[in-house]
Each structure stands twice: as structure tokens, then as C-alpha cells.
Amino acid sequence: MGVQQELRRDEQQTERIETSAKTANPSVLDQMGGPSGFVYSTVPVVIFAGANSFLPLPVTIAVAVGSAVLLTIFRMLKGEKFSSAIGGVIGVAVAVGLAAWTGSAKDFFALGIWAALAGFVVTFASLLARRPVTGVIWNLMHGGEHAWREDRRSLRAHDIATLAAALVFGARFAVQQWLYVMDTTGGLAVARVAMGTPLTVLGALVVVWAFRRTSKRLLRKA
């Protein structure tokens, strides 16, 4: 009976872990608008860069904002949540606001460059402090009471995941800052698209691997 009860507890714990993962993952995807959200986010960028090549900046800004609004309406008609769909408009509005304020089209991309720098600083600093940020996030998501840093394999997994995130942010900043200095709006648009979804997916895969590895090692011991 003791063995059967132990097996039953293990099965119940495994089911809770899997249920938690299935519940958490959709919420993250919903906030980003799902996989199609990545595609939608690139459309205003491409339109802005294309329009800027033959239209004055004020008209280019109007076209970019208009495309973002139309995409938001389209996404809501498809049944997406307003909170997910409106994010694209807000991002574009801030970006074009910077461009309008400075009078320079390249500043449409400034916010993304600063965000990449901030992301790199946070992730790399957490590695130097021996508190990789992905591990901190995992622990907070699971009650904040797990000694994950004392488990060498879990700590190593989050070192790798946080390093992957730092490399993604660092690569984006280095390339796009160079293009910003070179004052090439078209190049910035290409870099934003090329280094957006592909690098995000690669980084996310490593982070998900670290989360699952830590869950299997620590949650089943709880």
C-alpha cells in the first residue's frame, strides 16, 4: 500500500506540473498575440521603411499608424483579445512619436535599440551576480520558495538560458546600433525583422528547456 500511495502521489504531482505548464504557456502566447502576433508586428515596420523611401516623414508616420490600426481591427475581428491586439498600436505610436519629435526616420527604431540594450544589461548582470534572471523568474512563478540555486544542474540550465537571452539582446543592440549610426532606415527595418522572430524563438526554446528541466528536478521533490 505504501508503494502504491507513493506512486499515486508521483503521478498526481506530474499531472499538476503538466497542467501548470499547459496553463502558463497559453497565457504568455496570448499576451504576445500568438505566433501570428510576431508577423503582425513586422508589418508596420516594413510599411514605415518602404513609405519613408519616397514619402515625407509626416506622411510616412500617418501610413505606419494607419496600418497598425487596421491590423488591430483585423485581429479583433478574428477574435483576439483587445489587450493583445492593441499592443501593436501602442508600440508603433511610441516609435513614430520619437521619429516625429526628432524629425529623423531612423528614430522609429530607437526604442527597440534601447530595449535591447536594457535587456542585455539586465540578463548579463544577473549572470555576473550568479542569479540568472530566468531562474529568478521560474522561482517566482512557483511560489518563490525553491532553493534552485543550490541545485547545480538547475543553476547551470538557467546560466545557459540567461546567456542565450543576453546573446539575443546583445546581438540586436550591436547590429541595430551600428545601422542607426550609419543612418540607414531600410537596413534597420531589415535587421528588426530578421532579428525579431527568429532570435526570439531560439532564445525562447532555451528558456523553456531550462524551465522544464528545473520543474522536473525540483517540483517532484516538493
Domain spans of the chain, in order of start: 105-222
**CA atoms within 13 Å, Cβ hemisphere of 18:** 6
Alpha-carbon distance of 203 to 9, in angstroms, equals 34
User: And the C-alpha cell for 60?
Assistant: 510616412
Can you give 150-217 as a three-state secondary structure string?
A: HCHHHHHHHHHHHHHHHHHHHHHHHHHHHHHHCCCHHHHHHHHHHCCHHHHHHHHHHHHHHHHHHHHH
Q: Which of 13-27, 39-53, 75-89 has the lowest mean pLDDT?
A: 13-27
User: And the C-alpha cell for 142?
Assistant: 512557483
The identity of residue 25, as a single letter, is: N
Give the per-residue pLDDT at 38.
65
Distance (Å) of CA 57 to CA 68, 108, 190:
17, 11, 19
Q: What is the pLDDT of residues 68-89, one digit of tens each?
A: 999 889 888 888 778 777 888 8
Give the per-residue pLDDT at 89.
87
